[in-house]
Amino acid sequence: MTPDESRWYWNPENIVRVQEFFGSTWELPFRLVTYLGDSGLILIMVAATFWVLGRHVTYATLATVMIGAALGSAIKVLTDVPRPAHPDLILYESGTSPSFPSGHTFLAISFWGSLVFLGVIRTMVAVVIVLLVMISRLFLGVHYLADMFVGLALGLLAVTIGYGFVKLVLERLTQEQAAMLMGAGLFGSLIMLPVTGDFPLGWEILGGLLGAGVGTVIESRWIKFAPSPGSWSDQTIRVAIGAGGIVMFVLLGSLLRDLGGPAIIRAILFSGAGLWAMLATPYLLDRLGHNAANHSSQTSSTSTATQH
């Protein structure tokens, strides 16, 4: 689909105005802020909720993000709108995934919005983050206003559906049932296989989701991780262990990509990142004494033995 630039919401001059208003000094801050809606970072943050807050928060945020990603990706493929192009643009990108709708916008709303309805963060925090992400995407010249508006609508729709899913489905399932359902949902990402190559890091993200699906199912049966209450230092250790392993796999996959390595190998490497996030990290944290489920069972066993 070719955008009609005569309409204000497709007019690239709006992007030029945003760039001129902020000026070149804002390029670095906006490049950093835009990561708050980046798919890779959001998936890491979803995993971090598991290590720190527990599986209920993780499953809820993951379901909401996957709903938003599915809706947005489908529209991107169907419309195939090119990125903005205008001679006066200070910053712009070409040759990447379709522009419409804004993926960073609907992913940011899906993730940060789900944390709001779960009571993890305040509404105003999410609003500020989403607005900054949206402005950053305009400033960087990668989206039209129309992309922002539809991305916003899709994100809000995903949060609404995610909230309903949590209340009507997730909260009525046992731990293992919920894990099986989430694992099935992650494996459902295979439906994107025919168009995976059309998206930047498409193969890597697909591999990561599949690895996370396998890890989710195995972990729920044999580890049953539940983060124990801990200090900020304890939580920092958990995130460092989890994120450190993910970064290792990501760096290896990125190096292979730069060297022109085959997509399937990159996908396998990123599946390792998913397994690390949802299986290896909970296992290590369990061995380090961060699993409240094990602590409770040990306490119960000790109490029973004492009574006898």
Residue at which a domain ends, from 122, 157, 172: 172
- Which residue blocks in the chain are alpha helix, DSSP H? 13-22, 27-33, 39-52, 55-79, 103-117, 123-139, 145-168, 175-187, 202-222, 232-258, 263-275, 281-287, 292-307
Q: What is the pLDDT of residue 304?
A: 44
- In the chain, how many domains are there? 2
Spatial distance between the Cα atoms of 125 and 13, rounded to a whole number of angstroms: 30
308: in domain: no
Q: Are residues 156 and 188 in the same domain?
A: no
**Residue 58: pLDDT band with limits 50, 70, 90:** very high
Quick: pLDDT tens for 145-156. Answer: 999 999 999 999
Range of the domain at 156: 9-172
Q: Quick one: DSSP state of residue 233?
A: H
Q: What is the pLDDT of residue 302?
A: 43
Quick: pLDDT tens for 216-227. Answer: 999 999 999 999
Q: Which distant-in-sequence residues (6+ apart) come within 8 Å of 58 by Cβ?
A: 46, 47, 49, 50
Q: Are residues 27 and 99 in the same domain?
A: yes
**Residue 63: pLDDT band with limits 50, 70, 90:** very high
Q: Are residues 18 and 77 in the same domain?
A: yes
Both tokens of 188, joined, read 């459902």
Q: Are residues 41 and 167 in the same domain?
A: yes
Per-residue pLDDT at 53 exceeds 90? yes
Both tokens of 80, joined, read 């195939």
Supply the mean pLDDT for the chain: 87
Q: Are residues 89 and 152 in the same domain?
A: yes
Q: Are residues 147 and 179 in the same domain?
A: no
Q: What is the pLDDT of residue 308?
A: 47
Spatial distance between the Cα atoms of 45 and 241, rounded to a whole number of angstroms: 13
Q: Which distant-in-sequence residues (6+ apart) come within 8 Å of 15 by Cβ?
A: 84, 86, 89, 138, 139, 141, 143, 144
Of the candidates 241, 222, 226, the one whose C-alpha atom is nearest the C-alpha of residue 281 is 241
Q: Are residues 29 and 100 in the same domain?
A: yes
What pairs with residue 291 in β-bridges? 227
284: in domain: yes
DSSP 14-77: HHHHHHHHH-GGGHHHHHHHGGGG-HHHHHHHHHHHHHHT-HHHHHHHHHHHHHHHHHHHHHHH
Residue recorded with tokens 């709303």: 109
Q: Are residues 277 and 227 in the same domain?
A: yes
Q: Are residues 39 and 161 in the same domain?
A: yes
For 39, phi then psi, to 5°, come to -60, -40
Q: Are residues 135 and 194 in the same domain?
A: no
3: in domain: no
Quick: pLDDT tens for 98-131. Answer: 899 999 999 999 999 999 999 999 999 999 999 9
Per-residue pLDDT at 169 exceeds 60? yes
305: in domain: no
Q: Are residues 126 and 156 in the same domain?
A: yes
| Pick from 153-157, 170-174, 240-244: least confident | 170-174
Residue at which a domain ends, from 137, 172, 207: 172
Q: Are residues 26 and 146 in the same domain?
A: yes
Quick: pLDDT tens for 252-306. Answer: 888 887 888 788 888 888 899 999 999 999 999 999 999 887 654 444 444 444 4
Per-residue pLDDT at 234 exceeds 70? yes
Residue 253's Cβ-count burial label (10 Å; 0-12, 13-18, 19+) is buried
The residue with greater pLDDT, 266 or 19, is 19
Span 42-69, mean pLDDT? Answer: 93
Both tokens of 308, joined, read 């006898």
Q: What is the pLDDT of residue 305?
A: 42
The residue with greater pLDDT, 192 or 42, is 42
Q: What percent of the chain has pLDDT over 90?
A: 58
Spatial distance between the Cα atoms of 159 and 61, rounded to a whole number of angstroms: 9
138: in domain: yes
The residue with greater pLDDT, 203 or 295, is 203
Residue at which a domain ends, from 126, 153, 172: 172
